[in-house]
Amino acid sequence: MAEARLLDPDEHGVDARHQTGALDLARRLPSLVVAAKDVAATVMYGVHGRRRAGVGETFWQFRPFVWGEETSRIDWRRSARDDRIYVREREWEAAHTIWIWMDRSPSMAYVSTLAMQSKLDRAITLGLATADLLVRGGERVGIPGLTRALATRGIIERFAEAMIQEEKLGEAPRELPPADSLPPRTQAVLIGDFLSPPDDIARTIQSMAARGAMGHVVMIADPVEETFPFSGHTEFIDVDSNARLRVGEARTFRDDYIQRLAAHRDAVREACRSRGWSFAIHRTDQPASRALLDLRMRVEGAQGAAIPAGAS
């Protein structure tokens, strides 16, 4: 899928290789943390997670005592304030675990003049906002291969710190998440441009889903990557190598490029469908809140399907 990674650095965007080389994650992340919190706040209304009565340590609510229940469950202090007898009910704490992976490979640094953010900034913003929203809904979230699953309200800061530490180690970002089999009843949220060979993507999804884990793929795209608005003499630069391609009339490549991009996306979509995973495309000229709302609905839908009979 090399064609989908070749983008004009002069007419419509920034040379992704140069931008990646100048990228200082420790400097950029604070602003992305703020952006993620803002996006999560816009979608926060109506978030309820899976709060329900059950076995756990966290207080949930008081409810009237029902004749026949064990008297040890009565909260006498609360009952003394009223004419009724109340029971202290705890919250069901069988939280789900969701693994969130954000692509930080070189191709993600591209941004055109038509976009609100680079693909990299959008992926991190969306990933951090998703983590915040899920934790507030009672879930545990982690970054595969980087952090354990956590349920802390400071999840955005924890994720940001983990990414900064990884950046300091100087390790090259991976184009795909670790292909480790995830436990049953967990979910994966994969956010990136997914311009790797379709077979590699399919193998990664199959490995992660081998034990029954559900997942959601969000393909981030710059509007220029979809529309290919180039014409005339254009030089294309591969963000992953030193390869360059100079063409006299770029417009003649447009139809072939669009067909190849569509075929690539169909292959990724089929890899998701074969494992029961969801697939969505999000363009960086659209609000991040739109993608977050859609992602939240898909994650909650998969959670509902995974709750065992009688749990509610």
- What confidence tens digit (pLDDT) does each residue in 260-290 have? 999 999 999 999 999 999 999 999 999 999 9
Q: Quick check: is 284 in a domain?
A: yes
Residue 35 has φ and ψ, to the nearest 5°, of -60, -40
Same domain, 224 and 76: no
Same domain, 8 and 76: no
Which position has the higher pLDDT, 142 or 241?
142
Same domain, 30 and 124: yes
Alpha helices of 137-178 — where are they, by DSSP H? 155-168
- Strands 278-283, 86-90: pairing is unpaired
Q: Quick check: is 232 in a domain?
A: yes
Same domain, 252 and 136: yes
Distance CA 119, CA 236 (A): 18
Q: Quick check: is 240 in a domain?
A: yes
Same domain, 274 and 154: yes
Same domain, 103 and 252: yes
Q: What CATH number has the domain bearing residue 291?
A: 3.40.50
Q: What is the pLDDT of residue 300?
A: 84
Same domain, 36 and 137: yes
Reading the block at residue 68, the tokens are 């026949």
Q: Quick check: is 118 in a domain?
A: yes
> Distances from the Cα of 57 to the Cαs of 44, 71, 303, in angstroms?
25, 18, 22
Total residues belonging to the chain:
312
Nearest to 13 by CA among 167, 152, 158, 221: 221
Same domain, 71 and 207: no
Last residue of a domain, one of 39, 68, 90: 90
Same domain, 76 and 159: no
Q: 32 with 132: CB under 8 angstroms?
A: no
**Domain encompassing residue 71:** 59-90
Q: Quick check: is 7 in a domain?
A: yes
Distance CA 203, CA 220 (A): 20
Distance CA 195, CA 275 (A): 20
Q: Quick check: is 72 in a domain?
A: yes
3-state secondary structure of 218: strand
Could you read off the pLDDT of 71-90 as tens digits, one per residue?
A: 887 888 888 888 888 887 66
Same domain, 216 and 253: yes
3-state secondary structure of 107: helix
Last residue of a domain, one of 36, 71, 90: 90
Q: What is the pLDDT of residue 193?
A: 97
Q: 137 with 127: CB under 8 angstroms?
A: no
What spatial distance separates the first Cα and last Cα of the chain, rounded to whole Å? 46
Nearest to 289 by CA among 117, 162, 150, 140: 117
Q: Quick check: is 311 in a domain?
A: no
The answer to which of 58-62, 100-104, 107-111 has the lowest mean pLDDT is 58-62
Last residue of a domain, one of 90, 112, 146: 90
Q: What is the pLDDT of residue 70?
A: 79
User: What is the tally of structural domains in the chain?
Assistant: 2
Q: What is the pLDDT of residue 46?
A: 47
Same domain, 158 and 81: no
Determine the average pLDDT of the residues in 25-30: 78
Q: Quick check: is 71 in a domain?
A: yes
Same domain, 66 and 185: no
Residue 250 in this model has a pLDDT that exceeds 70: yes
Q: What is the pLDDT of residue 245?
A: 78
